[in-house]
Structure 1
């Protein structure tokens, strides 16, 4: 969590109008850094959900015993998206989908950056492409996007599955944040074509061009989206191969059937060590 506040602070320091939020994040960054270090020193063992998180905790407390076990999903519960069999047309244009809690700062930053800097580049080549922002509690900073005819802000929905099912491309334009992006794992489990920033898949050991496409600059991000849309309008071989690879990757690495045995083994080891330590006490 301290890394999230650190990234927020460093981002805001580049914008004079956001000096007060930057100051707040700096204070929280230092408080959380001290708190997390204190907890790590007291714990018999620490679980991190990714190697970057493990490294961050080890920087705080080099002696901490930090084990990486990724967060997971019920991969078998997800089916390939219906959109994978559809070809976009002017009458039924492709839809780019982003999902998330829309009062969460990294998500707000992501969709504003995408709408302002990436979507216009996509529209130069394919003006009918739509952008759906799916998630509860849309922040007032997003209100201006409602005026755009190709952008839809849904607010809270009962089920995101229908939106994912009809997504032409799932976009992850995150520039700040931390932890595991469950949204990415869920989209991969459905075999959706995905374009993400490098930070958007931080801690998920994917390969650019195999399970998804990575891009960090607006031009590259737009080009990656268009590459997927062009593939779907042609023969769809690239998106099919990428979707199959993504689904296989999640099933092999992030399914609960793979993760739960590791968790159980870790807890059993800790209990044995604690029991032995207790018995050896005078």
Structure 2
């Protein structure tokens, strides 16, 4: 959609009174394609996809630079995205305006730990999500199921990609496809996992899980742009062994594990309410609009 806004404000009919243009960059797309390429290059079978991402990466560098140079203001969802966009245009007027969430829509319902139910949500034809669940099922879930044989992993989200067929019949794995609401799944989950290895922006799935008061295990990239801390609002892990160990800490049938899961969930929800509820985010948009300045066309 951004190209239409740019074309509109650059139309010669405006003369010197062109309207202001705000570029709301919910993802730094060139950075996302760069990460896609770097991930796919590790696997020869994925080299065609890596080549596609390399081409898109170069195109998006030019495209996002042009939009930033035209816009009076740019809204980035994290400081990481802001820094990436500044590399394209150091003079861009970039504000950090994070994704927001309506906390009232996410009631807290403690899950029954005995079920050992793991959950991932997201649009399942999106490459970072596909990579995440494949990595988790191939390398992490088997480690968990050695100690917790009944552990299940629910993948909830629309448009499951054919690449997911290889895990569809793995023990304990359920791919739901589109659902009317993620709330029943979120409420039933013992641990919410974010095994993302590719991505950009801030992950709305992380905000949903935090708002729901879930115990979360994530890669560091999975919560990039959200200034949470390990052992405070969630557990962080980047290798299969570390990730499995973190999940199993939360599945143990003892008081220490129960207390940790409850503390993480409560802290995560409090953090989301303090920083990502729309009541906190809306004033940031208002400040950005109030500070709009003319920008010389380049």
Name the TM-score, length of structure 2 as normaliser.
0.86
Distance in 2 between residues matched to 1:190 and 1:23, nearest whole Å = 39
Whether 1:55 aligns to 2:83 is: yes
- Farther-moved stretch of structure 1 (57-66 vs 143-152): 143-152
Q: Post-superposition, which runs of at least 4 consecutive aligned residues in structure 1 deviate over 6 A? A: none
Equivalent residues of 2:124, 2:158 under 8 A apart = yes
Deviation at 1:12, TM superposition (A): 1.8
Q: Aligned pair in 2 of structure 1 residues 157, 63: CA closer, same or farther (>3 Å)?
A: same
Q: What's the CA shift string for 1:166-224, capped at 9, x where partnerless?
A: 00000000000111211110110111000000000000000011000000000000000
Q: Which residue of 2 aligns with 1:107?
A: 129
Q: In the TM superposition, what are the counterparts of 1:192-231 in structure 2 within 5 Å?
A: 192-230=214-252
Whether 1:87 aligns to 2:113 is: yes
Q: What's the CA shift string for 1:11-30, capped at 9, x where partnerless?
A: 22222222222111111000
Distance in 1 between residues matched to 2:261 and 2:220, nearest whole Å = 19
Deviation at 1:235, TM superposition (A): 6.3
Deviation at 1:82, TM superposition (A): 3.7
Number of residue pairs matched by the alignment: 267
* Unaligned segments of structure 1, at least 5 residues: 278-282
> What is the aligned-residue RMSD (CA, Å)?
1.5
Equivalent residues of 1:231, 1:239 under 8 A apart = no
- Farther-moved stretch of structure 1 (62-71 vs 13-22): 13-22
Equivalent residues of 1:76, 1:251 under 8 A apart = no
Distance in 2 between residues matched to 1:145 and 1:20, nearest whole Å = 22
Equivalent residues of 1:232, 1:239 under 8 A apart = no
Q: Aligned pair in 2 of structure 1 residues 113, 232: CA closer, same or farther (>3 Å)?
A: farther
Among 29, 40, 48, which residue is 2:68 paired with? 40
Q: In the TM superposition, what are the counterparts of 1:121-160 in structure 2 within 5 Å?
A: 121-160=143-182
DSSP-derived class of the 1:153 partner: strand
Distance in 2 between residues matched to 1:16 and 1:116, nearest whole Å = 17
Whether 1:66 aligns to 2:61 is: no
Equivalent residues of 1:69, 1:263 under 8 A apart = yes
Q: Which residue of 2 aligns with 1:280?
A: none
* Unaligned segments of structure 2, at least 5 residues: 1-28
